[in-house]
């Protein structure tokens, strides 16, 4: 089989982690008789600063024929964050109908959690984040700018179809995992959208009788991700809550540098996009010390998504082996001093 993978290295450490990891993906794919062709799209904040747009007008047409997309990071100190997100990341997620965002949080053997008493294997859950609507709906406006009566309105949209889609994806995952699903809302305060969400959970769970369902408010869930992370299996949440909770998930399992994610188009009509959860990290850009593991695991999710389980498994195994090996190089975010290339060499030795 052969695959066309679009890469958007993006900003900050994005190009460093994407460029460093591609040779490993080619090597592992080749071991499985799989051909991959990467097409690089140099879109992002530098383009914005030069040309006034993060991507060209026909960006989505260019990406659409790809089998999948690998994104590095977006975010630049000289460009407002809403410009980088609305100019690149969000249009891809929305227009390619990537309604499902899947973000695993795993405490790997050999990785230290900031939480006392946890070691490798103790924490392993996955967050299903609704990915194209909710609090990220681009509906609102500002008026009377500069006056005392200036105001801003931002509307959250929860559709039956979108909410059901994320819930079903999460229930299906729970069926395949430990059979436990936690739905996270703020229905005490948001009595329309989040009560609607809770009602849909009740409806959808009828089709998954084996799955045990727990409901938590997002404030309690944030505490519990720290207080009892080992009890979570599959978590489902709205767009914004999912985004915030997955940062907590990443940090309690060691580092943002280990957290992968997939933005999934379930119909297969459009490519899915895979990206490390971390951002562009301008504070370490250019130093060669960015942890490439989140990108490697994002690619592992990508290969699984296109049906290349063997390639995916090999990437997961290489990461597990490097992290578990005391003598292997350790990146700075995990307490070591190894650079990006050293980590990649260690991974390459193990495939």
Tokens of 146: 């500069």
Which of 45-53, 175-183, 275-283, 343-351 is the region at the interface with ligand GGG (rule: CB under 6 A)? 275-283
Q: Least distance (Å) from ligand GGG to the CB of residue 240?
A: 8
Tokens read off for 6: 């679009």
Phi, psi of 196 (to 5 degrees): -60, -45
Strand pairing report for 2-10 and 68-73 = parallel
Residues 21-60 that bind ligand GGG (CB under 6 A): none
Q: What is the DSSP letter of 133?
A: S
Q: Which is nearer to ligand GGG, 88 or 234 (CB)?
A: 88
Q: Sign of the CA dihedral 28, 30, 36, 41?
A: positive
CB of 79 to ligand GGG, least distance (A): 12
User: Six-digit token pair at 341?
Assistant: 């290339």
CB of 190 to ligand GGG, least distance (A): 19
Pairing assessment for the beta strands 272-276 and 260-264 based on DSSP bridges:
antiparallel
Tokens of 327: 């003598």
Distance of CA 24 to the CA centre of its chain: 20
Q: Helices 293-305 and 14-31: crossing angle, nearest 10°?
A: 50
Instruction: Identify which of residues 83 and 213 has a Cβ nearer to ligand GGG in the complex.
Output: 83
**Helix 340-349 vs helix 309-324: angle between axes, to the nearest 10 degrees?**
110
CB of 319 to ligand GGG, least distance (A): 17
Which residues lie below 8 Å from residue 209, measured CB to CB, with a gap of 6+?
Answer: none
Cβ-based nearer residue to ligand GGG, 254 or 279:
279
Q: Strand, coil or helix: what is 197? A: helix
58-78 burial code (b ≥16 CB/10 A, e <16): ebeeebeebbbbbbbbbbbee
Footprint of ligand GGG on 66-95 (CB under 6 A) = 71, 73-75, 85, 89
* Total of residues contacting ligand GGG (CB under 6 A): 12
- The yes or no reply on residue 275 touching ligand GGG (CB under 6 A) is yes
When the beta carbons of 14 and 120 are compared against ligand GGG, the nearer one is 14
* CB of residue 125 to ligand GGG, shortest distance in Å: 18
Shortest CB 295 distance to ligand GGG, Å: 9
- Of 59-67, 271-279, 281-289, 333-341: span binding ligand GGG (CB under 6 A): 271-279
Q: How far is CA 47 from CA 137, 275, 330, in A?
A: 25, 20, 33
Minimum CB separation from ligand GGG for residue 216, in Å? 21
Q: Which of 97, 102, 135, 243 binds ligand GGG (CB under 6 A)?
A: 243
Between CA 178 and CA 175 the distance in angstroms is 7
Site for ligand GGG in 173-232 (CB under 6 A): none
Of the pair 94, 208, the CB lying nearest ligand GGG is at 94
Name the residue with the smallest CB distance to ligand GGG: 73
Report the distance separating Cα 155 and Cα 183, nearest Å: 22
CB 200 to ligand GGG: min, Å: 22
- Which of 276, 292, 331, 339 is close enough to bind ligand GGG by CB under 6 A? 276
Minimum distance of ligand GGG from residue 2's CB (angstroms): 26
Kindly indicate which of the ranges 112-120, 144-152, 212-220, 277-285 contains the residues binding ligand GGG, using the contact rule CB under 6 A. 277-285
Q: Is 335 left (phi over 0), alpha (psi -120 to 50) or beta?
A: left
Q: Any idea what DSSP says for residue 244?
A: H
Query: What residue ranges bind ligand GGG (CB under 6 A)?
Result: 71, 73-75, 85, 89, 243, 275-276, 278-280
């Amino acid at each position: 089989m052969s695959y066309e993978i679009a890469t958007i290295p993006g900003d900050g450490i994005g190009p460093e982690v994407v460029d460093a990891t591609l040779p490993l993906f080619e090597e592992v794919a080749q071991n499985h008789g799989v051909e991959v062709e990467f097409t690089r799209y140099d879109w992002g904040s530098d383009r914005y600063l030069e040309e006034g747009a993060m991507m060209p007008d026909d960006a989505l047409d260019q990406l659409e024929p790809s089998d999948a997309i690998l994104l590095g990071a977006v975010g630049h100190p000289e460009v407002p964050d809403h410009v980088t997100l609305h100019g690149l990341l969000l249009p891809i997620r929305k227009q390619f109908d990537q309604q499902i965002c899947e973000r695993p949080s795993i405490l790997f053997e050999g990785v230290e959690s900031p939480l006392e008493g946890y070691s490798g294997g103790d924490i392993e859950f996955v967050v299903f984040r609704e990915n194209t609507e909710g609090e990220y709906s681009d509906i609102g406006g500002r008026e009377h700018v500069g006056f005392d009566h200036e105001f801003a309105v931002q509307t959250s949209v929860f559709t039956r179809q979108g909410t059901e889609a994320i819930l079903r994806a999460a229930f299906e995952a729970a069926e395949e995992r430990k059979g436990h699903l936690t739905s996270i809302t703020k229905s005490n305060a948001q009595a329309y959208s989040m009560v609607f969400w809770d009602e849909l959970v009740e409806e959808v769970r009828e089709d998954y009788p084996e799955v045990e369902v727990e409901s938590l408010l997002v404030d309690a869930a944030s505490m519990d991700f720290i207080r009892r992370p080992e009890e979570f299996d599959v978590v489902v949440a709205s767009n914004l809550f999912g985004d915030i909770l997955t940062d907590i998930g990443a940090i309690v399992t060691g580092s943002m540098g280990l957290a992968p994610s997939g933005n999934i188009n379930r119909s297969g009509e459009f490519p899915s996009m895979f990206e490390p959860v971390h951002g562009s990290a301008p504070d370490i850009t250019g130093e060669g010390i960015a942890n490439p593991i989140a990108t490697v695991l994002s690619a592992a999710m990508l290969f699984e998504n296109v049906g290349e389980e063997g390639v995916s498994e090999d990437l997961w195994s290489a990461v597990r082996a490097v992290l578990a090996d005391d003598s292997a190089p350790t990146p700075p975010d995990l307490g070591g001093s190894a650079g990006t290339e050293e980590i990649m060499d260690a991974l390459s030795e193990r495939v």
